[in-house]
Amino acid sequence: MGRSSKDKRDIYYRLAKEEGWRARSAFKLLQLDEEFGLFKGVKRAVDLCAAPGSWSQVLSRKLRGKDVKIKEMAEEVKIVAVDLQAMAPLPGVTQIQGDITKISTAQEIIRHFEGQPADLVVCDGAPDVTGLHDVDEYIQAQLLLAALNITTHVLKPGGTFVAKIFRGKDVTLLYSQLKIFFSGVTCAKPRSSRNSSIEAFVVCQNYSPPEGYVPNMSNPLLDHSYDVDFNQLEGPNRIIVPFLACGDLSAFDSDRTYPLQLDASEEYHYTPPTQPPIQPPYQQACHLRKNNLLAKEDSPAHLVEAAFSAMEL
Ligand code: SAM
């Protein structure tokens, strides 16, 4: 590919270079802000999964750059950027090279804000894409939930959370989880996000966790080293569904072995299954075993082939 062919194909890629943004993704955050006014009154902001840093650049320019009229106000602003990867420095942005699924990262953010909560958390996180759509969607969803977890530690009530989401078939499950914590949840697609991509952004407004909710990072799917006893969770952190034993206690116990003749006076008669499987996946193996062809190193290949063709496979 020639040096200019990507410039020709992708206007946002070209504009990003012309305007000095580290990645074309900058336009996605700028366009989300145009629609939702994300930066109004924001003094403390967190950029999760920030490298190479175009969203942090947007935060820096919008919250403390030339767009902010009063210098003292700009100096009050604190921005923290987190990523697994190292990132070149940016004015007014503190970097944490860390993992957003770790409680230690949440603690570091809180330390940087001197115990004050953030007004805005953004996350453009993306795992390495495998090309297997179901796997990619699943991992993206897990990363979004990790971002939500860390956000519950650092965001102020009423604050805003913006995150990349893949609009896959299970996306409504994610929306319903986000709705537990935010009164307003919108799925937005900026013009700069390619139509061909299932990528979109959830803009979650007015952080209002359930009463008594205690932030935690426990996601057993993400990190098995978290030593969480789920039975110890209380209040809104614990969901209890009723467990009901059904049937008469005098009915047969499914874990016990009973004699073949339940009634000793009657002779046992085998009853075949009502409807055996029509074409079970183990059919070939049964056939080969019946013909003594299974797993025999010295089975002549032509016999195995003959067995397969007899079965019209
Ligand atoms: N918003 C960035 C920008 O505008 O420059 C681009 C972000 S890039 C699409 C996704 C980033 O997510 C990668 O840099 C990757 O290292 C980061 N990431 C993925 N999983 C992460 C995790 N568990 N913790 C921290 N960062 C993570």
The tens digit of pLDDT for each residue in 231-255 reads 677 777 777 777 888 888 888 888 9
The pLDDT, as a whole number, for residue 252 is: 86
User: Domain 23-217 adopts which CATH fold?
Assistant: Rossmann fold (3.40.50)
CB 313 within 8 A of CB 284: yes
Token duo for residue 294: 């299974």
- Name the DSSP letter for residue 231: G
Nearest-CA residue for ligand 1 atom 15 is 49
Nearest CA to ligand 1 atom 14: 51
The DSSP call for residue 45 is: E
- Closest atom of ligand 1 to CA, residue 58: 4
Amino acid at 124: D
Which two tokens mark 284?
């070939």
Q: Extract the tokens encoding 135.
A: 């796997």
pTM, rounded to two decimals: 0.78
Q: What is the pLDDT of residues 161-178, one digit of tens each?
A: 999 999 988 899 999 999
Spacing, Cα 23 to ligand 1 middle (Å): 12
The answer to whether 21 is annotated as binding is: no
Task: Return d(Cα 16, Cα 53) in angstroms, integer.
Answer: 12
The tokens for 29 are: 């955050």
Average pLDDT over residues 105-121: 96
Q: What is the Cα–Cα distance from 219 to 45, expressed in whole angstroms?
A: 24
CA 157 to each of CA 43, 44, 268: distance values in angstroms, whole numbers, following the listed order: 14, 13, 70
Burial class (CB in 10 A: 0-12, 13-18, 19+), 3: exposed
